Amino acid sequence: MKTIIAACSQNLSGSRASIQTALRTLLAVPWPSQRDIGSALQLLAVLQWVLSFLLLGIVSLLLLIYLLFTSLWLIPVLYLAWIIFDWDTPEKGGRRLSCLRRWTVWKHFRDYFPVKLVKTHDLSPNHNYIIGSHPHGILCVGAFCNFITGSTGFEELFPGIRSFLTTLAGNFRLPVFREYLMSGGLFPVTRRAIGYLLSQKGTGNAVAIVIGGAAESLSCRPGVTTLILKNRKGFVRMALRHGAFLVPSFSFGENDLFRQVVFEEGSWMRSIQRRFQKMIGFAPCLFYGRGLTSCRSRGFLPYARPITTVVGEPVAVPKVENPSRELVDRYHELYIRALLKLFNENKTKYGMSESDELHIL
């Protein structure tokens, strides 16, 4: 009996020693620093944004189709009925939720790159504005962060101005994704939607349009700044019809977020990209960024490169119900001059050299 008790006591002593050793080892492991936690939150913020824009619409559509063939078929049927009833809402003001602009996640998103907004001139709340956003890049990070989220202080820099951002109309045909876009303040880049914002919501509205669009994304690569703008004049015509001032903006660093495989003009891959662009509204790009676990690996996340969006001087535009071609060309030329001035005055401040030029096609 004494032998059994002695053995048990020895085992208990050994267990206590093992537990104490394990605790000391655990306490010796360095805990994540505040900087490490911040970096992880920034990475997660960017990850959820990229996945939302690339997959939310398609995954939601596939899920609803799947549910049609299950006992939950009533859910997609009711949602389809809702979409039909709600079809025109994106072009009639949408359903913007101001609380989403103040999400803490957007501050982590901003700090990942980081993204900064620079004001060069005041915008009076007595006018409406069309802000030209350049360049398109791959995913329009600068335009989204500055004009949709409140993380860079747009409303503080431009008091009395409400910013909106337009995107492909086809995105608003995807289930669930359309609700996500509208809640953030995005609208279809259509005449009807832009006209509504500039005519039915008073003054103090600034509608940001990524003018280069899908075609410009094909020329997106570091060290080259090419804009598709020479024959893009619809935004000028809309500005004249509604008397909205034209405001150039440029996001320095936007083209440095991804690496793209660029095919030469005339190649069969380039022609396939062009055909896709005409059919579905955007050009499929072969690009890559950093991986999820390491910035040295390849993946689909953007590289952490600073983006500085500079908002330039507004070009005053009169209200003309039916502007002539000559008048449109005149204000289009004035806008290009203002954009070139903005670029040349700020390029050396935000990572470019004096010899860098803005190529407009």
Domain of 338 in residue numbering reads as 35-360
Half-sphere exposure of 73 (CA within 13 A, CB side): 4
The sign one gets for the Cα dihedral 345, 351, 355, 361 is negative
* Contact yes or no for 268/326 (Cβ under 8 A): no
- Please tell me the pTM assigned to this model: 0.86
End-to-end CA distance of the chain: 96
pLDDT of res. 262? 66
Q: Are strands 307-311 and 245-252 parallel, antiparallel or unpaired?
A: antiparallel
CA–CA separation, 23 and 29 (whole Å)? 10
Q: Is 256 domain-assigned?
A: yes
pLDDT score of 336: 96
Q: Tokens standing for 89?
A: 């809402």
Residue with tokens 């690339």: 54
Alpha carbon 133 to its chain's center: 11
Q: What angle do CA 235, 236, 237 make, to 5 degrees?
A: 90
In a domain, 354, yes or no: yes
pLDDT tens for the chain, 361 residues long, are: 444 444 444 444 555 666 667 656 645 656 677 787 888 999 999 999 999 988 999 999 999 999 999 999 999 999 999 999 999 999 998 888 888 888 899 999 999 999 999 999 999 999 999 999 999 888 899 999 999 998 999 999 999 999 999 998 889 999 999 999 999 889 999 999 999 999 877 899 999 999 988 777 766 665 668 898 999 999 999 999 999 999 999 999 998 898 877 666 666 666 766 676 666 555 666 778 888 888 788 888 999 999 999 999 999 999 999 999 999 999 999 999 999 999 999 999 998 888 888 888 8
User: 339: helix, coil or strand?
Assistant: helix
Euclidean distance between CA atoms 213 and 249, whole angstroms: 15
Cα angle: 327, vertex 206, 57; to 5 degrees: 110
Length of the chain in residues, anyone? Answer: 361
The residue written with tokens 């914002």 in the block is 197
Angstrom distance (rounded) from CA 359 to CA 335:
15
Could you tell me which residues come within 8 angstroms of residue 241 by beta carbon, excluding any fewer than 6 positions away? Answer: 195, 319, 320, 321, 322, 323
Question: Is residue 18 included in any domain, yes or no?
Answer: no
8 A C-beta contact, residue 242 and residue 195: yes
Q: What pLDDT shows up at residue 276?
A: 66
The answer to whether residues 255 and 141 touch, using CB atoms and an 8 Å cutoff, is no
| Contact (Cβ atoms closer than 8 angstroms) between residue 214 and residue 287 | no
Please check whether residue 313 is in contact with residue 215, taking contact to mean a CB–CB distance below 8 angstroms: no
Q: Check if the beta carbon of residue 312 is closer than 8 Å to that of residue 287.
A: no
| Residue 56 · residue 176 · CB < 8 Å | yes
Conformation bin of residue 26: beta by default, left when phi > 0, alpha when psi is -120 to 50: alpha
Domain count, the chain: 1
Q: What tokens does 166 get?
A: 């337009």
How far is CA 323 from each of CA 103, 270, 331, 332, rounded to the nearest angstrom? 42, 36, 11, 12
Handedness of CA 196, 235, 306, 341 (dihedral sign): negative
